[in-house]
Amino acid sequence: MPRHAQQRVSTRPRRSAWAVVIGGIGELLLTAGALVLLFVVYILWGTGIQTARAQDALEDELGTQWEQLAPDAPAPDPDALAEGDAYGILRIPRFGDDWEFTIVQGVQPDDLARGPGHYPNTANPGELGNVGIAAHRSGHAEPFADFPQLRVGDTIEIEMADGTYVYQLDDAPDGDSDGNRIDISDVWVVDPVPGEPRDTEPTEQRITLTTCWPRFGSSHRMYATGTLVSGPSG
């Protein structure tokens, strides 16, 4: 064998089968980690872009609805809205002076991907009963990311075609990350009179906000409730 060929012969020991397996597992873990990171980026950033675009469309839709009203015409009936339609405007001062989202009618996944949703078959702002509003805490612009920071006494504003309705919370997480946590099946919180049979006649004008718990999961729900303190008629 020529001398230069001999110099190319490797003297390193071959990797054992176990080392090959460990190396393969390591590569798989690195790949899995990269995929998880990409998924997290999509949830926090990618879905937010989609929701921002949907919010722009809902805002335009709502503006068109309201601009078409005659000066003395009665406000449109929210019950006539189809799921997916623009419903109203939600403001929660606790989340910031510029925090504002257009509400969509409906709480199905496709609805909540566009913004906070109004539970169909719950009251409309100003009516006797319970206005139900749900929104995401993570992804899709995370409207309710700071939900645990809601406190008793905070105000919730909903602007409709006929004016703005203001509710004041009388039950809230009060800064507790586990506060007001309920099972995912506890839909009684959006009943006309929470905690009472669904056919109980309501005597108050209430609101209930719901969201997911934990923030990056959906095994449970969190809620906050309040009563109407002012509306367009005083």
3-state DSSP percent of the chain in helix, strand and coil, to 5: 30, 25, 45
Which residues, including other chains, have CB under 8 Å from residue 222's CB and lie 6 or more apart?
Answer: 147, 148, 173, 179, 180, 181, 182, 210, 211, 212, 213
**Set 4, 118, 136, 140: catalytic member:** 136
Q: Between β-strands 155-160 and 86-91, what pairing exists: parallel, antiparallel or unpaired?
A: antiparallel
Closest listed residue to residue 135, CA positions, set 224, 65, 53, 195: 224
* Whether residue 212 lies in the annotated active site: yes
Q: What are residue 159's phi and psi, to 5 degrees?
A: -95, 125
The catalytic site residues sit at 136, 212
